[in-house]
């Protein structure tokens, strides 16, 4: 029976309940994180918790649980649920209050977390995935990892309905990011991704990929690119905590490059896996 954690207690998932007056439910008034688990151990959870603190501060939810306690909870969820390879999801909402848009006074944040198995190292999508281009319909603070995600739900549903793995969101043809991933292209051996701003989420995996590229001597350019440039690129890649780094081999109905995972994607994915194995050994 899977065990989750809710407001300070480990409980069976089927016994974990929140109020219908929780602002996460009423308004999507909350933030979240997803960290990978490899070899039964958390990967880069410390970085995810730094971003959690930033997201909480950005929307004025008190950060009542120190990172060290979150780490303990997250690791125990992975261990107690027997997760060797997978993820831990956590969410903090502004809490339970009578429905009213402005912040309630003295609400206690709702906090919960759960764990799930997922193939990471032997992800079949490492053979290449297809993206569907969709307009980015989100708000202007995409740097906050908010649980208000209707635009991404619709984007990723469109992708799935079209048989694609992920959405490539764009604003008037300029790529922002994936529905739940950061996007990259490669031309002439140069790795390119959109610079950080409030238009995209600062992916933890994005950060790590930049470090790995630097270490591997792969030149990087942080500059936005268009859908047309992505379709015409030698390689395209997506990154996220629970996909690591995946080659994008098709966008809409167009093959990227020769339609096979490219050398930079394969090299960086291998470097990512090597780092992940080393950190979770």
Ligand X SMILES: Cc1ncc(COP(=O)(O)O)c(C=O)c1O
229-248: contacts with ligand X (CB under 6 A):
239-241
- Given a contact cutoff of 8 angstroms between Cβ atoms, the answer to whether 200 and 143 are in contact is yes
Q: Does 203 bind ligand X (CB under 6 A)?
A: yes
Of residues 145, 156, 231, 250, which has the active-site annotation? 145
Closer residue to ligand X in complex, CB, 192/239 = 239
Find the shortest distance in angstroms from Cβ 275 to ligand X.
Answer: 14
* Tokens encoding 5: 């954690």
Q: Does 182 bind ligand X (CB under 6 A)?
A: yes
Q: Which has the closest alpha carbon to 52: 164, 169, 145, 126?
A: 145
Find the shortest distance in angstroms from Cβ 56 to ligand X.
Answer: 16
Q: Which of 22, 177, 199, 235 binds ligand X (CB under 6 A)?
A: 177
Contacts within 8 Å (CB) and 24+ apart, 263-268: 263/235, 264/186, 264/189, 264/191, 264/218, 264/235, 264/237, 265/186, 265/235, 265/237, 267/216, 267/218, 268/191, 268/209, 268/212, 268/213, 268/216, 268/218, 268/237
Closer residue to ligand X in complex, CB, 96/242 = 242
Q: Does 181 bind ligand X (CB under 6 A)?
A: yes
Find the shortest distance in angstroms from Cβ 99 to ligand X.
Answer: 27
Q: Does 147 bind ligand X (CB under 6 A)?
A: no
Q: Which of 156, 194, 206, 269 binds ligand X (CB under 6 A)?
A: 206
Question: Is 118 labeled as catalytic in the residue annotation?
Answer: no
Q: Does 156 bind ligand X (CB under 6 A)?
A: no
Q: Which has the closest alpha carbon to 48: 212, 199, 208?
A: 208
Q: Does 175 bind ligand X (CB under 6 A)?
A: no
Q: Which of 93, 147, 180, 192 binds ligand X (CB under 6 A)?
A: 180
Q: Does 93 bind ligand X (CB under 6 A)?
A: no
Find the shortest distance in angstroms from Cβ 114 to ligand X.
Answer: 16
- Given a contact cutoff of 8 angstroms between Cβ atoms, the answer to whether 166 and 159 are in contact is yes
- Given a contact cutoff of 8 angstroms between Cβ atoms, the answer to whether 71 and 25 are in contact is no
Distance from C-alpha of 98 to C-alpha of 19, rounded to nearest angstrom: 11
Distance from C-alpha of 190 to C-alpha of 22, rounded to nearest angstrom: 46
22-61: contacts with ligand X (CB under 6 A):
34
- Given a contact cutoff of 8 angstroms between Cβ atoms, the answer to whether 191 and 238 are in contact is no
Q: Does 205 bind ligand X (CB under 6 A)?
A: yes
Residues labelled catalytic: 145
- Rule CB under 6 A: which residues touch ligand X? 34, 177, 180-182, 201, 203-206, 239-241
């Amino acid at each position: 029976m899977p065990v989750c954690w809710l407001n300070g207690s480990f409980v069976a998932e089927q016994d974990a309940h929140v109020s219908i007056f929780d602002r996460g439910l009423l308004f999507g008034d909350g933030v979240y994180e997803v960290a990978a688990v490899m070899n039964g151990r958390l990967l880069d959870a410390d970085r995810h918790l730094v971003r959690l603190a930033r997201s909480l501060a950005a929307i004025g939810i008190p950060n009542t649980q120190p990172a060290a306690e979150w780490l303990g909870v997250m690791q125990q969820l992975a261990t107690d649920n027997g997760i060797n390879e997978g993820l831990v999801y956590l969410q903090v909402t502004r809490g339970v209050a009578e429905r009213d848009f402005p912040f309630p006074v003295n609400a206690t944040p709702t906090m919960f977390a759960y764990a799930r198995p997922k193939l990471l190292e032997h992800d079949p999508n490492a053979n290449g995935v297809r993206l569907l281009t969709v307009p980015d319909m989100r708000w202007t603070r995409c740097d906050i990892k908010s649980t208000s995600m209707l635009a991404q739900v619709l984007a990723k549903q469109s992708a799935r309905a079209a048989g694609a793995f992920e959405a490539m969101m764009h604003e008037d043809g300029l790529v922002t990011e994936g529905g739940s991933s950061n996007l990259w292209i490669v031309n002439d051996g140069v790795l390119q991704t959109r610079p950080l701003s409030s238009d995209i989420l600062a992916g933890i995996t994005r950060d790590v990929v930049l470090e790995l590229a630097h270490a591997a001597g792969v030149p990087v350019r942080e500059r936005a690119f268009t859908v047309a440039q992505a379709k015409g690129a030698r390689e395209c890649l997506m990154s996220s905590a629970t996909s690591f780094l995946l080659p994008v081999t098709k966008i809409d109905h167009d093959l990227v490059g020769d339609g096979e995972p490219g050398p930079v994607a394969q090299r960086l994915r291998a470097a990512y896996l090597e780092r992940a194995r080393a950190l979770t050994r």
